[in-house]
Structure 1
Amino acid sequence: MRQGPRNLITDVAGLRVGNADDAGLRSGVTVLVGDLPMACGVQVMGGAPGTRETDLLAPDRIVQAVDALFLSGGSAFGLDAGTGVMAGLRAQGRGFAVGDARVPIVPGAILFDLLNGGRKDWADSPYPDLGRQALESAGPDFAIGTAGAGYGAMTANWKGGLGSASAVLDSGVTVGALVAVNALGSVTVDDGPWFWAAPWEIEGEFGGLGLPGAFPAGTEPAPGKRQGEATTIAIVATDAAMDKAALTRMATVAHDGMARAIVPSHTPFDGDLVFAVSTGIVTGDTDPFALGHAAACCLARAIARAVYLAEPGSGAAQPAWRSRWT
């Protein structure tokens, strides 16, 4: 397993990602769009999720593919981002055909960033515009760290952010991850520089620091946020042909990567969620065991990269990792 050329989810051919964010709002939106509709599954393991259109992704539902996915800040207000994404896709002639009508299929998930010091006194929700802007900016290269849905994200001790990573398997199949990290837990061991995801790091992509010689034993962490204030939301993707049932399993396994990179994770206070998509470009004998493992590893790496690359900023509620350790 090696990094893809960009070390981004867009190393999966046929995918593009766009960000839109607002420094005053301290929030934003990230959109993943396929050149063609994508098969998609989802698994929610946190206790406080916020979602749109996820019921459609069950294997027994009639809709078999999605046009785009969005991740957004703004708590429940951020679900409005899907309206902007739908409007942009409709203008492009995209969507599920019902007679002469087309309905873009755009599931999404949100994180809570309403108490991060940004301006939240809007009269009209900014999220539809941010959603459309993110869609219209989508391309193979995009910013991570303090960007998009991760712009105003926080963790137990450091600024959160938007992360991405990719892997090319020996079979030639590509797997990638995209994540907005706004966790109750910590991505590092205590307040030190070491990332919990270090065993899965490739080519020093988040500092090459490894792990400390000893871990704090018997720690019982106290929650630093209240119910509904934390969530890590992610997308894993592959070019291997997979149906909705197989992708649901892939999303479930990818949650292992979240648990490797955030301690604790999947708490009652988080809305932890993973989407999984397939572009279906690579057909034939694809190994679900290898794909699930690669998805979990990519997600762990993407989570660490989100915090590693988050930028310091005036007025931020938390310090950036890099402001102390670089």
Structure 2
Amino acid sequence: METSKSLNATTYITFDGYVDLHKFRYLYFVTVLLVYILIIFSNATIVCLIWTRKSLHEPMYIFIAALLLNSVLSCTNIYPKMLIDFVSEKQVISYSACLVQFFLLYCFGGSEFFLLAAMAYDRFVSISKPLQYPNILTNTTVIICLVLAWFVPALQSTISLILLHNTGVKLCNMEVKGIFCNNAIYTLHCVRPRSVTIFGVLAVVDNIVLPLLFIVFTYTKILSIVNRSCKEVRKKAAETCLPHLLVLFSLTCLSAYDIIIVRTESDFPKTVRMIMTLQIFVYQPLFNPLIYGLKMKEIHKHLKLLIYRAKII
């Protein structure tokens, strides 16, 4: 029979998602450290280009910079603790620190969908109302979109933590089937409060489903417009919209894993679970700067110029 445990400052949770850590701990450490450095370098390079080049001070590129910065912050929430776990005898985290990691994880995760929705709106206005674009996508509008993109997920994550705290949950399980604190923390509780479950569903709808529906609607309208337009307009639309759609597709697939597999407590093999979990913080943060650096014409042009100057120096 499982025994419950009251929560206090010394309550520790064990991560049970690592595979053969005793054999490959140093290989894991070096590999993940190199990946983390590459993520920071690649994303920071694009963000700095957008920051320093006046020709890139447009709403579309500002949203891209925000998305890449969001990826770096999201990875920083996960990677340092993971690196510590690789070289530690026990892979543990305090329950309070676990909740903080959980909070930041879904703050940044929800923000990605809102930022992609803002990009979709930017492209829609640019293609459907090119002459009115400067009057619609003003600096104030851009700032409001950025604030909402980070504030709404943060507010919902805060409410989730408040609900957990106020319902006085107790732990019947001290192991997380994973390598960081995500939705799997709900499996630790003896009983999942109904209020937490209901609000969790609402948060998924607000942070993922609604932005996705908005993006699908927006790009459907864009597709309808470009089909009636000349070849030059279709080419411009493809250059600017395709990277956003590729990023959206990969993010949606990876988020589906976290929502469906983790919440339904599917009995996946530990190796598969670890690989899929790592993909969220390896594939997406490296994929974004690669796509925007190669597929966005203006960014690619400045990136080539930067590489050329570096060679000369």
Q: Using structure 2 for the length normalisation, give the TM-score.
A: 0.28
Q: Using structure 1 for the length normalisation, give the TM-score.
A: 0.27
Quick check: which one's helix share is greater? Answer: 2
Quick check: which one's strand share is greater? Answer: 1
Using CA pairs below 8 Å that are at least 6 residues apart, which structure has the higher relative contact order? 2
Q: Return the index of the structure with the highest Cα Rg.
A: 2
